[in-house]
Copies of this chain bind each other. A is one copy, B any other.
Amino acid sequence: MQDITLFTEGTIDAATFAAGLARDHVADNVEVLNRLEPEQAADVLMRLPFDRAVGILDKPELDFGAEIIAALPRERAVPLLTGMADDRAADIFRWLEEPARGELMARLDPAARAAISSLLTYPPNTAGAAMTTEFVSVPSTWTVAQTLAHIRSVERTRETVYAIYVLDGATRRLVNAVTLRRLISGVPEANILSVAHADAPVKTSPSTDREDVARLISKYDLLAVPVVDSVGHLLGIVTVDDIIDAMIEETTEDVQKFGGMAAIDDPYMQIGLLEMLRKRGGWLAVLFLSEMLTASAMQYFEVELEKAIVLTLFIPLIMSSGGNSGSQATSLLIRSLALREVKLSDWWRVAARELPTGLLLGAILGVIGITRITLWQKLGFYDYGEHWMLVAATVAAALIGVVTFGSLAGSMLPFALQRVGFDPASASAPFVATLVDVTGLVIYFSVALMILRGTLL
């Protein structure tokens, strides 16, 4: 690969650098350009052969496509946008800012403008936004030989033919799909439908969630899924490589959301301090405000706290155990719901499993807790007072209650979010911990009041 430092430090000029790039794979060029400033990348792109420049812009891995297009002279940007796949050009327009956006849109030829504008109407993360409008389709009246000739001549620049879509000659609705593999085994004079699969083709609608399209592709082992409108006209196809890119992005978002922050698209090193504060500070402040209820709960039990200061020693331990068990249950159920292993209506079955699980997990921690207090007391590491056995019993009972509550609350939260129309993956570990903390304190002090009344309290 090209040595980027020679260029950024001014040792070689953009033209020499571009000549070097042209010898590498397009995918490697993208990695190099991602490490340049958008203006520098635009400068290099200008000096690359047209087809190579289009190939680079067509890669979804290119980080600053919109910034690069905006930095190019308009008369250079327009043919590049027209040469690109419509779905990638639409992606670039999604991120373009005014005035570049309006100026470039106005200069596109009417056909390209119409195609790109219609793609821009689909919400992000849907099949409509992820699909490409460049697919191979033939009328159902054609023969195998006609179709082969069409692919050889008209579609000759296409690197991969995922499938050939057969449309009704009159209504232009999707009739069936033919794989290249089957096409080459067909009798040349036979109708194209003679090599089609016996079953109706798997298809989807433009509003379908990208994750559901991934499931279709995975379930039926497809290379592409056709996207059709309500009457069956073929709008585009979502290909397996679009879906892989989408899945990698989705995993990142899910992990970040589970970590308790708003999802960030950009690579870590390219996130500005202000954006970082916004994406993290917002949730952190919301969690902080909710967690303030713990201070209120503690104020409420002030009298007990003053009487039995020994109880405060175990507050962090008990609260964190509730949060941890809740975080486990949430992570389990987020994925089970995402993979459709459990349905919304299964919530009570899940609760019926989490209840004994939580009780047993709490009991395990309770035994460890009692052992620790007994050991420290007997070995003389610390004196928990004359009622140390009652204190140990309080800690153990509270652990059972808190861990059970944590498991139940953590497992029900993704259901509740899905029920009210949110993504279950919005349930984050910090969110669950906060939910469990306040209740955990109340459980702890209530148990303490029951066990220690008349002795310590």
Contact = CB atoms under 8 A, between A and B. Distances in A.
A417 interface: no
B244 A334 contact: no
Contact of A288 (B332, B341, B349, B365): B365
Interface string A337-379: 0010110001001100100110011001100110010000000
A335 B255 contact: yes
Contacts of A179: 159-160
Interface string A202-220: 0000000000001001111
Nearest to A241: B221
B368 A288 contact: yes
Interface string A253-279: 011101111001001110001001100
A261 B221 contact: no
Nearest to A254: B255
Contacts of A283: 324, 328
Tallying the copies of this chain within the complex gives 2
A353 B280 CA distance: 14
A184 B181 contact: no
B181 A341 contact: no
Contacts of A361: 277, 280-281, 284
Contact of A244 (B217, B298, B312, B332): B217
A161 interface: yes
A121 interface: no
B269 A342 contact: yes
Contacts of A312: 298, 305, 312, 315
A430 interface: yes
Contact of A152 (B185, B323, B346): B185
B148 A160 contact: no
A368 B285 contact: yes
A434 interface: yes
A251 interface: yes
Contact of A268 (B25, B267, B332): B332
Interface stretch (A98-106, A169-177, A225-233, A289-297): A289-297
A180 B185 contact: no
Given A261-B332, A268-B350, A334-B255, A25 B281 contact: no
Question: In terms of DSSP, what is the predominant structure of the interface of chain A?
Answer: helix
A156 interface: yes
B161 A248 contact: no
A288 B160 CA distance: 54
Interface string A303-319: 00110010011111101
A430 B288 contact: no
A148 B183 CA distance: 11
19 contacts: A27-B219, A61-B219, A151-B184, A152-B184, A160-B181, A160-B223, A183-B184, A217-B241, A240-B244, A244-B247, A259-B332, A261-B331, A267-B336, A269-B346, A273-B360, A284-B325, A284-B364, A284-B403, A323-B323
**Shortest Cβ-Cβ A-B pairs, 7 listed:** A259-B331, A429-B429, A294-B316, A267-B341, A268-B336, A324-B430, A261-B328
Given A180-B184, A324-B434, 14 more contacts: A27-B219, A158-B181, A160-B179, A221-B241, A222-B241, A252-B339, A258-B259, A258-B429, A264-B332, A269-B353, A273-B353, A273-B356, A291-B316, A312-B312
Interface of A: 25, 27, 61, 148, 151-152, 156, 158-161, 179-181, 183-185, 199, 214, 217-223, 240-241, 243-245, 247-248, 250-252, 254-256, 258-261, 264, 267-269, 273, 276-277, 280-281, 283-285, 287-289, 291-292, 294-295, 298-299, 302, 305-306, 309, 312-317, 319-321, 323-325, 327-328, 330-336, 339, 341-342, 346, 349-350, 353, 356-357, 360-361, 364-365, 368-369, 372, 382, 403, 428-430, 433-434, 437, 441
